[in-house]
Amino acid sequence: MAFLLPKGLLLGVSTAATQIEGGDVNSNWNDWYKQGRISDGTDPATANDHWQRWERDTELMAELGIQLYRFSVEWARLMPEPGQPDEAAIDRYRQELLLLREKKIRPLLTIHHFSNPLWFEKLGGFTRRENLHYYLELVELVAERFGALVSDYITINEPNVYATNSFFFGQWPPGEKKLLPTLRVMENLAYCHIRAYELLHRKREAMGYGDTRVGCANHLRVFAPKNPKNPWHRLCAMLSSYLFQDALTKAMTLGEFPFPLRNFGKLPKGEYTDFIGLNYYTRSTVSSIGDGVRENSPRNDLDWEIYPQGLEDCARRLHQLLPRPIWVTENGTCDRDDRFRSRYLYEHLQVLSASELPFERYYHWCFCDNFEWVEGNSARFGLVSIDPETGERQVKASGRFYAAILARGGISDELYEKYVAEQEYDVR
Ligand code: BGC
């Protein structure tokens, strides 16, 4: 039952601006809400009100002993109009970074986490090559204005999820359902990542900072054939994985654009990541191209299979592409009543600790319950809950468990008995 975490492994939490900050900032997600597209009708303008409550949230993290904090900046806030940065917003992020430094919590800054300013969206966003310089201007702004306070960066969060949900499945803004724009967006995001990787290194070096680490938060799933003996199922699993994640991670990491992706920017092959960023949640079981869930499997509230071994399987895939230290930039589960989150945490950390792969950091998704994109606020991933009336934060049992793991660098039998032993997953 008991185990120690690998020596030197750091533990933290992960968040994203649109999901926690609140405020009607004129982003594509504020607009998506106004179009009535959020399932439970909740408004990202409310979210967690972190924009106002950031001091308390940071203090609470420190109280729990959190060592790392991954967060993103809201592009629409920093650049309400093209080429016109908002000084007050820059200053507010700088204040937060200063407090993180004071509390000895190491920041990892994500530059793009799904949301775009509406002006960028209206220009065609990432579908058009002529627009990509706007993203690179944001990267430049971030490097210049936050560079003294942050040395670790994620250029883009889950480019495959962004491209497919927004342009192929049509569930996210701008709600398209076409293959070609999906592929163009993937290519353009790979281009943006590589250019941002170079830019961050170049800029920071010129500013005299040598300790820069840049990567991408890759979303990987295990794709398993429903019936492993069925060659069609096996082919579908392979193709789903290739089209959804493998081709794109290769382009982003190595500048190699395998079919059907094209290297329009004529980027040279290279090594475009300083760490392996992995967001891992689940396994898909397929009998056609796409998604599916294994029957009789442990599931979370969103019906995602809980499959801890997949954390190592996906990390290994990325590590084989390019051997770098592994940062689990997201891992967590949707569990409304905190009935099985501690077990989930325990089992994933156990897999990570038993592995010989070089896991260096683990960021739990998420610190607080928050705005879960098209699901709205009712899907709950947090270690901390938020009172919808008062906004008050309350640490859940899983949050106390995480704090205890941080304090002892592992899980004792006593901790297991207290937090995990009685928890069971739903099996459907
Ligand atoms: C995203 C997060 C999201 C989480 C849970 C990841 O795909 O990066 O923004 O909240 O998964 O769905």
Minimum-distance ligand 1 atom for the alpha carbon of 161: 7
Spatial separation of the C-alpha atoms in residues 183 and 86, rounded to whole Å:
33
Minimum-distance ligand 1 atom for the alpha carbon of 366: 10
Which residues, 6+ apart, have CB-to-CB distance to 223 below 8 Å?
237, 238, 240, 241, 244, 283, 284, 286
Q: What is the model's pLDDT at position 95?
A: 98
- Residue 121 CA to ligand 1 center (angstroms) comes to 21
Instruction: Please tell me the residue having the least CA distance from ligand 1 atom 12.
Output: 372
Instruction: Please tell me the residue having the least CA distance from ligand 1 atom 9.
Output: 16
- Residue 232 CA to ligand 1 center (angstroms) comes to 30
Pairing mode of beta strands 426-427, 298-299: antiparallel
Contact of 108 with 154, CB cutoff 8 Å: yes
- Residue 279 CA to ligand 1 center (angstroms) comes to 8
Q: What is the model's pLDDT at position 210?
A: 86
Residue 354 pLDDT > 90, yes or no?
A: yes
Reported as a pLDDT band with limits 50, 70 and 90, residue 291 is confident
Q: What is the model's pLDDT at position 93?
A: 98
DSSP string, 225-272: ESSTT-HHHHHHHHHHHIIIIIHHHHHHHHS---TT---TT-PPP---
279 within ligand 1 shell (Cβ under 6 A): yes
pLDDT digits 0-9 by tens, 135-145? 999 999 999 99
Class of domain 3-215+313-422: alpha beta
Return the structure tokens found at 248: 């794109």
pLDDT digits 0-9 by tens, 232-280? 999 999 999 999 999 999 999 999 999 999 999 899 999 999 999 999 9
CB burial readout 84-97, b (16+ within 10 A) else e? ebeeebbebbeebb
Residue 98 pLDDT > 80, yes or no?
A: yes
Average pLDDT over residues 178-198: 98
Average pLDDT over residues 201-215: 96
Instruction: Please tell me the residue having the least CA distance from ligand 1 atom 10.
Output: 372
- Whether the ω angle into residue 366 lies within 30 degrees of 0, i.e. cis, is yes
What backbone torsions phi and psi does residue 427 show, to the nearest 5 degrees? Answer: -115, 125
